Amino acid sequence: MEDSRRAPMAVIVWACTTLCLVSYAAAFSHGASLSACADMMPKHLRAQLHSPNNNYVTVHTNMSFYFPGDKVPVTVRSTRDFMGFLLQARKVSNDEIAGTFVFIPPGSKLLTCFEDGDTVTHSDKSLKRNLSFVWKAPDQPIGDIKFFISVVQSYFVYWAKIESAIVAQRGQY
């Protein structure tokens, strides 16, 4: 009699666990969560971080300097498909997120980590390779910045905080 109760209980436990894991995984197919804002790390179960030096993604801009209030084009290029990403501009002086994104490509959405539109993430898990964005510098001086991107190739493989070259601020400090 006890064995006849164990089987249905095992099925119920398995079903609940599966539903929880599926809903947890599905949440990330629509973009990074706000919990990734500070460290830019995916919050996937058992995700494996790969060395930023061994990545196939570059983030860059054709501008080596900017003035407060400027709009800066940012390009992400990849030699392989990836599904997810998180992109931010950060101050070189203290690693704080800075500025806002004013243009984002299809398949992405704005996040508010500290101010509206300061971060961009994917909005679906379609495969991506080359993405273009426009970042707007704050109107007040903030100093030199770098762009950082974390890229998720698959649910279990990612690269965190791949960085661009420094984009120096011109004008008054």
What pLDDT is stored for residue 11 in this prediction? 45
48-61 burial code (b ≥16 CB/10 A, e <16) = eeeeeeebebebeb
For every one of its 173 residues, what pLDDT tens digit does the chain have, with 9 covering 90 and above? 455 555 555 444 443 333 333 333 333 455 555 556 866 777 655 555 655 566 689 999 999 999 999 999 999 999 999 989 999 999 999 999 999 999 999 999 999 999 999 999 999 989 999 999 999 999 999 999 999 999 888 777 888 899 999 999 997 55
Number of other residues whose CB lies within 10 A of the CB of residue 68: 16
Q: How many angstroms separate the Cα of 123 from the Cα of each of 21, 26, 32?
A: 20, 12, 9
| pLDDT value, residue 19 | 37
- Closest C-alpha to 133, from 74, 56, 54: 74
Give the per-residue pLDDT at 47: 53
- Are 23 and 79 spatial neighbours (Cβ–Cβ below 8 Å)? no
Domains and CATH numbers, the chain: 30-167 (2.60.40.4060)
Tell me whether residue 19 is exposed, middle or buried, using C-beta atoms within 10 angstroms of its C-beta: 0 to 12, 13 to 18, 19 or more: exposed
Distance of CA 128 to the CA centre of its chain: 13
Residue 158's pLDDT is what? 82
C-alpha distance across the termini of the chain, in Å: 78
| Contact predicate 49/158, CB 8 Å | yes
